[in-house]
Amino acid sequence: MAISIRDCADIWSRIAAAVLDLFILVVIVFFLTFAAFDAIFFRGFTLLLGLPLLVGSSVSLAYFVLLEVYQNGQTFGKMLVGIKVVNLKNEPVTLTESILRTVLRCVDFLPFLYFLGFIVIVLSEKRQRIGDRAAGTMVVKVKVS
């Protein structure tokens, strides 16, 4: 089924979902890295300095990919806002598509706070950020039946 522009999620829904997801990720990563910070700063295990970055990156990748693939294209933020990720055929996003769009979040984030991603979404006919364009995905409103 073809996707019309009316089906596309608006920029404000995407921002709201992103803020909610960021909050959830900060809480998760905080608790997971608390022990690492203790070991690094209070016990002198400087070999672990990169651990918080590694944990944060891994958790973020897993959060977006696993939820988008196994929860009907929705992270918790997208669920709360009523949007989801689909491919351009309006089918559920695949593992490869989700990994590609998630990895490219770092490009969308440039130069700060998703500025480039925001500009690309606003200028895109299908409201796609760089990661969506590369993966062949888009974010749509969830139809309530």
Domain ranges of the chain: 5-141
Write out pLDDT tens, residues 26-75: 999 888 777 666 666 666 666 566 777 788 889 999 999 999 999 999 99
Write out pLDDT tens, residues 71-101: 999 999 999 999 999 999 999 999 999 999 9
How far is Cα of residue 55 from the mean position of the Cα atoms in its chain? 16
The DSSP bridge partners found for residue 85 are 139
Residue bearing the bigger pLDDT, 10 or 53 = 10
Backbone angles phi, psi at 83, to 5 degrees: -130, 165
Task: Please give the C-alpha separations between residue 78 and each of 21, 43, 82, in angstroms, as whole numbers.
Answer: 8, 40, 6
